[in-house]
């Protein structure tokens, strides 16, 4: 227990240093967390492309246990992408993010996206210096995800319900999902999107750009 407290304390120190570095560079940092298969990579690929079309400078860091498949996929957007291989760790830590950014000039970026390892437990405890943490849950996972994993919803700023194009097919109850999110995190921002059809992606981009302007 003492070792874990020390690890988290050190992570918080490094996260504060990262946040200060990001702030001085004027880069808005968004981290994305979800269980495996919720659609993080598909959504991020579309997000990078849409923001680049608006003339914004974007980049991404991708965490995975072993492969670089997601990084290769995201690179198709034309944005700079780097893989962070965590080995046996089921989450990213601030030290990993800092190391991955060692020779990057953050002054050349408007947005940096960090795609965490697919997990809804471990990432909740680790601050990465981000401005915004997004938790994703797909319609195929069921409406009770927030009740099963309340900590990650409590540490996130917005909930994105993904794969909205499948909602009817899987009989997803949007109202029940919203109630469950509200029960865990009252007042949490909730948005529903589809990376496949593009539904609600442009309003999401408008929102992200607006948040950057406010910082």
User: Which CATH number fits the domain that encloses residue 59?
Assistant: 3.40.50.300
| pLDDT level of residue 166 (50, 70, 90 thresholds) | very high
pLDDT score for 187: 97
**Angstrom distance (rounded) from CA 122 to CA 139:** 22
pLDDT score for 199: 97
The predicted model gives 178-195 an average pLDDT of: 97
Going by the DSSP 8-state scheme, the letter that residue 128 receives in this structure is: -
The answer on pLDDT for 3 being more than 70 is no
Host domain of residue 120:
2-214
pLDDT score for 209: 97
Q: What is the pLDDT of residues 72-120, one digit of tens each?
A: 888 889 999 999 988 888 899 999 999 999 999 999 999 999 999 999 9
What is the CB neighbour count within 10 angstroms for residue 67? 11
**Angstrom distance (rounded) from CA 215 to CA 208:** 11
Q: Does 1 or 83 have the greater pLDDT score?
A: 83
Contact between 2 and 86 (Cβ < 8 Å): no
Give 189's strand partners: 158
The answer on pLDDT for 4 being more than 60 is no
pLDDT score for 215: 73
Q: Is 43 helix (H, G, I), strand (E, B) or coil?
A: helix
Q: Does 165 or 86 have the greater pLDDT score?
A: 165
pLDDT score for 1: 54
| pLDDT level of residue 37 (50, 70, 90 thresholds) | very high
For the chain, the domain total comes to 1
The predicted model gives 62-75 an average pLDDT of: 83
The answer on pLDDT for 32 being more than 90 is yes
Mention every residue, 6+ apart, whose C-beta is less than 8 A from residue 171.
none
């Amino acid at each position: 227990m003492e070792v874990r407290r020390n690890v988290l304390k050190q992570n918080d120190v490094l996260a504060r240093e990262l946040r200060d570095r990001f702030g001085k560079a004027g880069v808005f940092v968004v981290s994305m967390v979800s269980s495996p298969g919720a659609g993080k990579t598909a959504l991020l690929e579309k997000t990078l492309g849409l923001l680049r079309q608006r003339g914004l400078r974007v980049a991404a860091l991708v965490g995975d246990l072993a492969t670089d498949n997601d990084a290769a996929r995201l690179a198709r957007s034309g944005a700079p992408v780097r893989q962070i291989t965590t080995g046996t760790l089921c989450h990213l830590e601030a030290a990993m993010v800092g190391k991955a950014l060692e020779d990057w000039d953050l002054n050349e970026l408007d947005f940096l996206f960090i795609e965490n390892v697919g997990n809804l437990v471990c990432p909740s405890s680790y601050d990465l210096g981000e401005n915004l943490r997004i938790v994703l849950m797909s319609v195929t996972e069921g409406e009770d995800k927030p009740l099963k994993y309340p900590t990650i919803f409590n540490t996130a700023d917005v909930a994105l319900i993904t794969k909205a194009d499948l909602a009817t097919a899987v009989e997803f109850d949007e109202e029940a999902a919203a109630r469950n999110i509200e029960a865990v995190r009252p007042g949490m921002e909730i948005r529903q999107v589809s990376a496949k059809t593009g539904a609600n992606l442009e309003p999401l981009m408008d929102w992200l750009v607006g948040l950057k302007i406010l910082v």
